[in-house]
Amino acid sequence: MVFTSVAVSLEWNRNNLILRRGASQILINAEHVQSLRTQESEDSFINFFRTTALQNREARRVFLSWERKDSELLNKIYKEMMS
């Protein structure tokens, strides 16, 4: 599956996941990527992503603004990580 979103671009760099839109970027570090990939369900993936992988309030705020532009964004990231 190829990741496509109108809101962000996705890039892998040394097992880190980088999400980008314009000048904003969010980095999900390799440890969190590994934890995300081992989640039992999509619900636990989403919970871990929102509470832990997004490491601070600013990252969560930026990600929420991106989700307003692409309501399926987290689902697409889940599919990308599990493929």
Tens-place pLDDT, residues 41-82:
999 999 999 999 999 999 999 999 999 999 999 999 999 999
**What sign does the CA torsion over 74, 76, 81, 83 have?**
positive
| Residue 2, pLDDT score | 78
Q: What are the contacts of 32-35 at 24+ separation with CB within 8 A?
A: 33/81
- Contacting residues for 44 by C-beta, under 8 A, at least 6 apart: none
User: Has residue 83 got a pLDDT over 90?
Assistant: no
Can you say whether residue 80 is alpha, beta or left, with left for phi > 0 and alpha for psi between -120 and 50 degrees? alpha
Which burial class, exposed, middle or buried, applies to 63 when counting CB atoms under 10 A from its CB (0-12, 13-18, 19+)? buried
User: Has residue 23 got a pLDDT over 70?
Assistant: yes
| Residue 1, pLDDT score | 59
